[in-house]
C-alpha cells in the first residue's frame, strides 16, 4: 500500500492513485486531486461526488449509465464535468476505489 500526501494529509493510495480508504477523503483532498486532473470543482461537481460516494459506500456498482440516471447530471454533462475518462476521474476525485468496469 502506497502513501501519498494530498492537501497536507497522508492517505493510502493504490498504484493508480485511487484512495484505498474512503473515510480519509475530504473536500480539500478532492480539490487537490481535481487540480492534478485539470478540473476546477464546482458545486455541481460536489453534488455528483456526494452521490457517487453514497452509492459506492452502500455497495452499489457505478456505471456511466447509472450516473446519467442520477437526476443530477445527464451523460453529456457528466462528460463535460469530467472530460477524458469521466468515470475514472470522478471516482478518483470522490476518494472511492476505481470501478471494476474501468480498464
Catalytically active residues are 102
- Cα–Cα–Cα angle for 99, 68, 79, nearest 5°? 75
In angstroms and rounded to an integer, the radius of gyration of the C-alpha atoms of the chain is 13
Phi-psi region of 17 (alpha: psi -120 to 50; beta: other; left: phi over 0): left
Number of H helices, E strands in the chain: 5, 2
Amino acid at each position: 500500500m502506497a502513501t501519498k500526501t494530498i492537501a497536507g494529509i497522508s492517505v493510502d493510495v493504490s498504484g493508480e492513485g485511487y484512495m484505498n480508504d474512503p473515510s480519509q477523503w475530504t473536500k480539500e483532498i478532492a480539490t487537490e486531486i481535481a487540480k492534478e486532473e485539470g478540473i476546477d470543482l464546482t458545486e455541481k461537481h460536489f453534488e455528483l461526488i456526494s452521490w457517487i460516494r453514497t452509492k459506492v459506500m452502500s455497495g452499489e456498482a457505478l456505471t456511466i449509465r447509472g450516473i446519467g440516471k442520477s437526476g443530477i447530471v445527464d451523460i453529456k454533462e457528466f462528460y463535460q464535468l469530467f472530460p477524458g475518462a469521466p468515470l475514472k476521474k470522478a471516482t478518483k476525485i470522490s476518494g472511492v476505489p476505481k470501478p471494476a468496469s474501468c480498464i
